[in-house]
Amino acid sequence: MKTQLVVDRKTLKIICLNFCNGKKHDFRLFKESGVHAGVNTEIETDTGYTGITAIHPNSLLPKKNRKNNPLSKEEKRNNRIISRKRIYVEHAIRFVKRFRILSERYRNRRNRFSLRFSLLAGICNFDMSI
């Protein structure tokens, strides 16, 4: 199962979930999901979403290091700034992985996965608000 989480950085709550069966690239899943962000909304992604700046110009994407073209000090500093902002999203993903629905093989009925994962996201949102 491939999943996608949209997390609000200020409240650390999971806003949106998206699922698909089998293997699918992160950016392709994002494009097919129909998730839209406002023009003023800043999207912070990892390197799996290369090309998102063409769809949403107000997005932060870290630069990749190339073999023949290493990153400059300015690019490394920008990547560190992006990572400091993204760490809160990674904490929300870690909190969901505690329930092992994402970190291990899902052995139950596939059609109930979205229901169970949505319930776990609700539990995570409730726990984050306390």
Say what the pLDDT of residue 1 is: 65
pLDDT of the chain, 130 residues: tens digit per residue: 677 788 888 888 888 888 777 788 888 888 888 887 888 888 888 888 888 888 888 888 898 888 888 999 999 999 999 889 888 888 888 888 888 877 777 777 777 887 888 888 898 889 877 6
3-state secondary structure the chain: CEEEEEECCCCCCEEEEEEECCCCCHHHHHHHHCCCCCCCCCEECCHHHCCHHHHCCCEECCCCCCCCCCCCHHHHHHHHHHHHHHHHHHHHHHHHHCCCCCCCCCCCCHHHHHHHHHHHHHHHHHHHHC
Q: What does the pLDDT read at residue 77?
A: 95
Question: Which pTM was predicted?
Answer: 0.73
Domain segments of the chain: what residues?
Answer: 2-129
